[in-house]
Chain A
Amino acid sequence: MSVLQALDIGLAFLVFAVAAWTIFAPGAFAATVGYVVYGLLLSLVWIRLFAVDVALTEAAIGSGVTGVLLIGAAARLRAAETAGREKSLSGLSRLLVAVLCVLVALALAGVVLLLPDQGPSLAPQSMQHLPETGLGNPVTAVLIAYRAFDTMLEKVVLVLAVVGVWSLAADRYWGGAPGEARAQRPEPTLAFLAQILAPLGILVGIHVFWVGADAPGGAFQGGAILAAMWIIVMMARLTEAPQTKAFWLRLALVAGPVVFLAAGVAGAIFAGGFFAYPPGFAKPAILFIEAFMVLSIAVTLPMLVAGPPRREPRR
């Protein structure tokens, strides 16, 4: 057994152990913290699978932003854990559920072991058409060219999620701002961190987006890093969340999907098909669309974390 294999097995056990902790930990808060650790370990697994783009996304969104969201919720729900007695399942049904879950996992493991070592693949086709897109990173090409339709609609999913979260506001708060007001005296430590980190993070985010055309990275990952910076600045209460009725906010939320959709329709007019790029202009067109997607992701994720409006709108 090589050292790398030993490390792989160690990592596998660690991931499994932390995952089991998030399911079985006695307190919800502890379980949530476990989940964040789990997400970071998982990005290491993704690196071992040679999927660096996914590793970046998992670290930034799967663990990072989701972690902030869930820890925030767990902290606010701490009171509920002691207040409400939950009806839990009886011992027998727990056992039945456990048996079912073990069966599903075993069946899945069996199928995974049966998969051939060299499976079917679209890698050759992805590489064959890569020059048409002018990109160097095939994952970005799949997201923004070959399967552009998926990606555009997934942006619409994010917009619907924002509408859904906002819909949970009380009527009188509609149009107001979510989250807490800007503090007179922000928490000094967090403010210090935010002031140093945010400029750096913005640079890193734009960098990750920019290199995504040719190297691991891209609009999702870059946008998520920018989003994280805004979240930190809001957490430090250096600034407050914008009013949800603000036109600039709405514009930033929908800019990505609208530009993507418009480019898709333009493709039907100028390039012979919906979401097709004119030959020779593919790369500038893709970067143009991606720039707006970065903006929308950077605004959407913090808005989803911030939750529904909680203050009355100002005139």
Chain B
Amino acid sequence: MTSATLAGLVGAALVGLGLYGLIANPQPLRKILAFNLMGSGIFLVFGIVARKGAAAGLQADPVPQAMVITGIVVAFAASALAVALVLRLFEDTGQATLNPDAWTKPPDGGAGAE
């Protein structure tokens, strides 16, 4: 088994683990962690695709590598937005929960902003 295939299998396992955490972990912060884990597993799949595209004197295909770099930056931005939402929720309610009861309280209008 080549190290590329091994990395691909690790990637597959990470996707499974991350997906489990994303669905089964109730805390939002743990969901964000799981999302990052799943993302990095997917990047590893790009990684082995790149490695198996070694040609023209390159050890790996540069196109998927560039996509992973773009993807890592986007994943960070997503984490930052999610963390900001969780912290805001915590500051306002003293809890950081996605429990639906938190927002299905009786309405006071919904007249839009202002």
Tell whether any CB of A sits under 8 Å from a CB of B in the complex.
yes
How many B residues, CB 8 Å from partner?
81
- Give A76 Cβ to nearest chain B Cβ, in Å: 6
CB under 8 Å from chain B, chain A span 113-171: 113, 115-124, 126-128, 138-139, 141-143, 146-147, 150-151, 154, 157-158, 161, 164-165, 168
A220 at the interface (CB under 8 A from B): yes
On chain A, the residues within 8 Å of B4 by CB distance are 49
* A78 CB → nearest B CB, Å: 10
Residues of B within 8 A of A8 (CB): 3, 6
- Is A54 in contact with B37, judged by CB distance below 8 angstroms? no
Partner of A54, one of B18, B65, B84: B65
Q: Are A101 and B58 in contact (CB under 8 A)?
A: no
Q: Let me know if A112 and B9 touch, CB within 8 A.
A: yes
User: Are B76 and A65 in contact, CB atoms less than 8 angstroms apart?
Assistant: yes
A189 within 8 A of B: no
CB < 8 Å neighbour of B43 from A9, A54, A102 = A54
Between B44, B47, B73, the greatest number of chain A beta carbons within 10 A of the residue's beta carbon is seen for B73
Q: Give the complex CA separation of A168 and B26 in angstroms.
A: 23
B88 surroundings in chain A (CB, below 8 A): 168, 308
Residues in B neighbouring A121, C-beta threshold 8 A: 52-56, 61
Q: Which residues of B contact A5 (CB under 8 A)?
A: 3
Complex partner residue of B80 from A84, A150, A304, CB under 8 angstroms = A304
Q: Which residues of A contact B10 (CB under 8 A)?
A: 12, 15-16, 45
Scan residues 216-235 of chain A and give those whose CB is less than 8 A from a CB of chain B.
218, 220
How near does chain B come to A150, taking the closest CB pair, in angstroms?
6
| Interface residue ranges of A173-232 to B (CB < 8 Å) | 218, 220
B78-93 near A? 1/0 per residue, CB < 8 Å: 1111011111101000
- A81 (CB) vs chain B CBs: closest residue: B27
Cβ contact within 8 Å between A49 and B51 = yes
The smallest C-beta distance from B42 to any residue of chain A, in angstroms, reads 9
**Contacts A23-B17, A112-B45 given; does A119 touch B7 at CB 8 Å:** no
Which residues of the partner chain A approach B27 to less than 8 Å between Cβ atoms? Answer: 28, 81, 86
Given contacts A23-B37, A143-B66, contact A105 B80 (CB under 8 A): no
B96's partner among A48, A77, A128, A143 (CB-CB below 8 A) is A77
Bound form: Cα–Cα A19–B35 in Å: 12
Which residue of chain B is the closest to A146 with respect to CB atoms? Answer: B63
A115 with B60: CB separation less than 8 A: no
B43 to chain A, nearest CB (A): 7
A24 to B57, CA, bound (A): 42
The answer on a CB contact under 8 Å between A12 and B79 is no
Inside 8 A of A123's CB, which chain B residues have their CB? 53-56, 58, 60-63
Inside 8 A of A157's CB, which chain B residues have their CB? 74, 77
Sorted nearest first, the 3 A-B pairs with minimum C-beta distance are A105-B16, A121-B53, A50-B59
List 9 contacting pairs A-B, 8 Å CB cutoff, sorted by A.
A49-B3, A54-B69, A58-B43, A70-B36, A73-B83, A76-B90, A80-B90, A116-B52, A304-B80
Residues of B within 8 A of A (CB): 2-21, 23-27, 29-30, 32-34, 36-37, 40, 43-45, 47-63, 65-70, 72-81, 83-88, 90, 94-97, 99
Known: A112-B45, A126-B61. 10 other contacts (CB 8 A): A16-B10, A19-B18, A46-B47, A48-B3, A50-B60, A73-B86, A83-B95, A100-B19, A121-B53, A122-B53
User: Which chain A residues have a beta carbon within 8 Å of chain B's beta carbons?
Assistant: 4-5, 8-9, 12, 15-16, 19-20, 22-23, 28, 31-32, 35, 38-39, 42, 45-46, 48-51, 53-54, 57-58, 61-62, 65-66, 69-70, 73-74, 76-77, 79-81, 83-84, 86-89, 94, 97-98, 100-102, 104-106, 108-109, 112-113, 115-124, 126-128, 138-139, 141-143, 146-147, 150-151, 154, 157-158, 161, 164-165, 168, 218, 220, 301, 304-305, 307-308
